[in-house]
Amino acid sequence: MLINCVAYQDGKKLADLPIEQIHDYLRQPDCFVWVAIRDPDPDTDELQRLADEFQLHELAVEDARHGHQRPKLEQYGDMLFCALQLLEPDATGELQVGELDVFVGHNFVLSLRNRSLQGFQDVRARCEREPHLLRFGAGFVFYALIDSVVDRYFAVVHKLEDELEEIEERLFARGNSGRRTIHDLYLLKRKLVIVSHAVVPLNEAVARLHGGRVPDMCRPVQDYYRDVDDHLSRITRTLDSLRDMLATAIQVNLAMISLDESAVSKKLASYAALFAVPTMIAGIYGMNFQNMPELKASEGYPVALLVMVVLDVMLWWRFKRVGWL
């Protein structure tokens, strides 16, 4: 579905275009066309029509058509193709992975969004508010799209940090369920893996857009790409830190489960000992032998009960003191 098709010249918007008029504006000097589509309709084959207009490389078009690409940056002659993953939390907190494929030439930008509800109208509005930067053409638009995706990564990472803090607070709470905590930690680890798969390859790709051999359309704004690369490096470091904290939290949770099981075992052993003492005494004096000490003593019964109580009180005090009860 076509979202926008707009021509720009010298940092200013010229007109909204139908696809059929794109080639007329591509011939004008210092003019570039920015087209945005979403979930292209295979019946009308919008992507192929645009590929013919912009003379896109067939391998890049095939990647965009099939989707589910690993984040990457590829150069075909004087055209760039970049695949980015879009991360959006759903109502249940799970991360939904969409995709943004961007084709960049010296006089055009074609962005293709798949499996994502959040658009990039704010990026277009930002570019149009900054004509002094939009004057740099397709290279700046490409930067603005990547920068918007990276900013969304920050929001996702901050949410994961909040989830980890909430789980850590639960670790030492009374009545904490070890099974539920392990389940939540595993889900959080899976989310970290999803974010890493989106960020780390993109970090490697963006590093090619500043310094060294930079594509022509990106050279005037390579300082902006360096800033995006720095943001991606910060996210990568944060993910590494979260991964370490998550591993520690899993170990602490397992240790807490072990301590709880040990405490239960100590309590059971303590109560068993409290019952064992009177059981032993009663068992000895319950044996049916004729010649037993104190068998004929008139105060034997109360004395035996008293000894049982005294020994149990002593044991209870001892277990209480060492923390078994």
* The CATH number of the domain covering residues in 265-322: 1.20.58
Q: Give 191: exposed, middle or buried? Use CB within 10 Å, 0-12, 13-18, 19+.
A: buried
CA 147 to CA 153: how far, in whole Å? 10
Instruction: Please state the rounded mean pLDDT for residues 254-262.
Output: 77
137 and 32 Cβ atoms separated by less than 8 Å: yes
The ranges assigned to domains in the chain are 2-256, 265-322
CA 100 to CA 111: how far, in whole Å? 7
Average pLDDT, the chain: 87
- Tens digits of per-residue pLDDT, 64-108? 888 888 999 999 988 999 999 999 988 888 899 999 999 999 999
- Tens digits of per-residue pLDDT, 165-215? 888 888 777 666 667 888 888 899 999 999 999 999 999 999 999 887 888
- In eight-state DSSP terms, residue 251 is H
- Tens digits of per-residue pLDDT, 230-242? 999 999 999 999 9
Q: Where are the alpha helices (DSSP H) in the chain?
A: 22-26, 46-54, 58-66, 121-129, 131-134, 138-171, 178-206, 222-285, 300-322
CA atoms within 13 A on the CB side of 9: 11
CA angle 60, 65, 66 (to 5 degrees): 100
* Superfamily name and number for 2-256: CorA soluble domain-like (3.30.460.20)
Identify the residue with better confidence: 154 or 27.
154
Specify the pLDDT at position 28.
86
Non-local CB neighbours of 51 within 8 Å, separated by 6+ positions: 58, 61
Non-local CB neighbours of 60 within 8 Å, separated by 6+ positions: 74, 76, 79, 81, 103
- Tens digits of per-residue pLDDT, 275-298? 888 888 788 777 766 666 666 667
Residue with tokens 């996702």: 156
Specify the pLDDT at position 44.
61
Instruction: Please state the rounded mean pLDDT for residues 218-233.
Output: 93
Instruction: Please state the rounded mean pLDDT for residues 2-28.
Output: 89
Asked whether residue 271 carries a pLDDT value surpassing 90, the answer given is: no
Q: How far apart, in Å, are the Cα atoms of 145 and each of 14, 121, 204, 279, 287?
A: 20, 10, 17, 79, 90
Specify the pLDDT at position 181.
83
CA atoms within 13 A on the CB side of 145: 28
Report the predicted TM-score, pTM, of the whole model to 2 decimal places.
0.80
266 and 324 Cβ atoms separated by less than 8 Å: yes
Specify the pLDDT at position 176.
67
